[in-house]
Amino acid sequence: MSPLPPSDPSTLGPGRGRFTAPADPALIDSRYAAWRLAAALAASTLGNAPMYVLAVVLPEIQRDFDVGRGEAALAYTFMMIGLGAGGFLCGRWTDRWGVARVVALGGLGTLAGFLLAAAAPGLVVFAFAHCLLLGFLGIGSSYVPLISDTALWWQRRRGVAVAVVACGNFLAGTIWPPLVQAGIDAFGWRSTFTGLGIVCGAGMLALSLCLRQRPPLTMGASAPAGSSAMSPQLNSDRPFGLSVLSAQWLLFFAAVCCCVAMAMPQVHIVAYCSDLGFGAARGAEMLSLMLGFGVVSRLASGWISDQIGGLRTLLLGSALQAVALVLFLPFDSLGSLYVISAMFGLFQGGIFPAYAIIVREYFPPEQAGARTGAVLLGGQVGMALGGWLSGEVFDLTGSYDAAFLNGIGWNLVNLAIMVWLLWRIRPGRHGQGASQASGRGAVA
């Protein structure tokens, strides 16, 4: 396979090169798309490293900067704020400049962020490095842009391809923490951060060279799995029969709801196990189990998306997530919590990628980065809100049962939204004439 994919010379304007022109549509679902998918997965695994290594270095930061655990954890809070804004803006930049430039910018941010954090004299500089450089640029360039770009390179196996890239987030949580802990034990946290910045930053810069080709030019939304190519929901000017802005805000709110529910076990399982007398170590093992089964879930949900479409896959994942949350209420023995934690990871891991599939199926493809970033920003808001809200409910009631019920309530709102959207797109609802204005799913 040639490393230089063919492009239509007629699309080249003055000063435009091979990589800035849209790729040949024949490259969709091709071997080149598969190599590009591998590069995107590697870049995602490198770029998402800061999200997980901070938890490992937290005790060292506390001692080095002579601050409390809560103050030290503020770096994580600021990093997530940066990630939320970065995912949205990096998605817009991807639509405008292409994913390669965004990933390269993220590589520079990751390199600079780890180096600045390693040299930080105090918590303020350390938190700034995590918010702007590592969160906004590093992680922000490594999730939404790579997912939205990948969705444009695949048709028949789009769900699986998006799921593979999304697994980079969980793979980072599997690979980097033990390596960072070994580096801290051997060299100290500052030297480890310096080395990590060089490896991850330089790696992202190198991988961005593999992503220079702009995706094939498409027209309109592509047909969801299991639907006719002439069905009315494919009018990307009116997704679900709504205005684009209304549909965008509805998906944003749906993402907030499902992620408030998702955050309850992920953020509080360790504390929950401690309260039950099982110890924090058992809770950490359950959290690891969730993430491990989340990788399996993302791959399986990607395959399911290819069979039934992103909207139905999201409905299925949300319903199963609610079931798992309900199971936490009557069962609190050690063995049952391990099983339910694995089930929860298996059910919820594919929810985030399903939103990217929905955006690709129902919204204009030239806006994929910005629209995906806006929806997944809702997910970050939901995770932040859910982690805090669950703690507040526990403080008010003295029980995690009420916190689980709170999560179930938010989950039910998400389910209601998905059912309503499926009702909006059911065959025949918009009349027979509507299909003539919507058959725009073909590749140009």
In a domain, 172, yes or no: yes
Instruction: Return the DSSP state at 333.
Output: S
Angle at 168 between CA 167 and CA 169, to 5 degrees: 85
Beta-bridge partner residues of 7: 23
Nearest in space to 260 (alpha carbons), one of 170, 342, 321: 321
Burial track 402-417 (b if 16+ CB lie within 10 A, e otherwise): ebbbbbbebbebbbeb
Residue-number span of the structural domain to which 291 is assigned: 232-437
Q: Are residues 165 and 64 part of one domain?
A: yes
**This prediction's pTM:** 0.71
Q: Are residues 193 and 302 part of one domain?
A: no
In the three-class reduction of DSSP (H, G, I as helix; E, B as strand; rest coil), residue 5 is classed as coil
In a domain, 8, yes or no: no
Q: Are residues 316 and 194 part of one domain?
A: no
Q: Are residues 164 and 42 part of one domain?
A: yes
Q: What is the CATH number of the domain that holds 340?
A: 1.20.1250.20
In a domain, 93, yes or no: yes
In a domain, 117, yes or no: yes
Q: Are residues 91 and 181 part of one domain?
A: yes
Q: Are residues 153 and 42 part of one domain?
A: yes
Burial track 272-298 (b if 16+ CB lie within 10 A, e otherwise): bbeeeebeeebbebbbebbbbbbbbbb
Residue 175 tokens read as: 């690979």
Through-space distance between the first and last CA atoms of the chain, rounded to whole angstroms: 23
Q: Are residues 258 and 202 part of one domain?
A: no
Domain count, the chain: 2
Q: Are residues 191 and 150 part of one domain?
A: yes
Q: Length of the chain, please?
A: 444
Q: Are residues 150 and 58 part of one domain?
A: yes
In a domain, 289, yes or no: yes
Gap between the Cα atoms of 129 and 136, Å rounded? 10
In a domain, 388, yes or no: yes
pLDDT values of the chain reduced to their tens digit, one per residue, 444 residues? 444 454 443 333 333 456 678 888 889 989 999 999 999 999 999 999 998 787 778 778 888 998 876 677 778 778 878 888 888 899 889 988 999 999 999 999 999 999 999 999 999 999 999 999 999 999 999 988 998 899 889 888 888 888 899 888 878 877 888 888 888 889 999 999 999 999 999 999 999 999 999 888 764 455 555 554 334 345 557 888 898 889 999 999 999 999 889 888 877 787 788 788 887 677 777 877 887 788 888 888 888 888 888 899 999 999 999 999 999 999 889 999 999 989 998 888 888 888 888 988 888 877 777 888 888 888 878 877 887 788 788 888 888 899 899 999 999 999 999 999 999 888 766 543 333 333 333 333
Neighbouring C-beta atoms of residue 159, cutoff 10 Å: 31
In a domain, 226, yes or no: no
Q: Are residues 135 and 99 part of one domain?
A: yes
Q: Are residues 247 and 202 part of one domain?
A: no
In a domain, 417, yes or no: yes
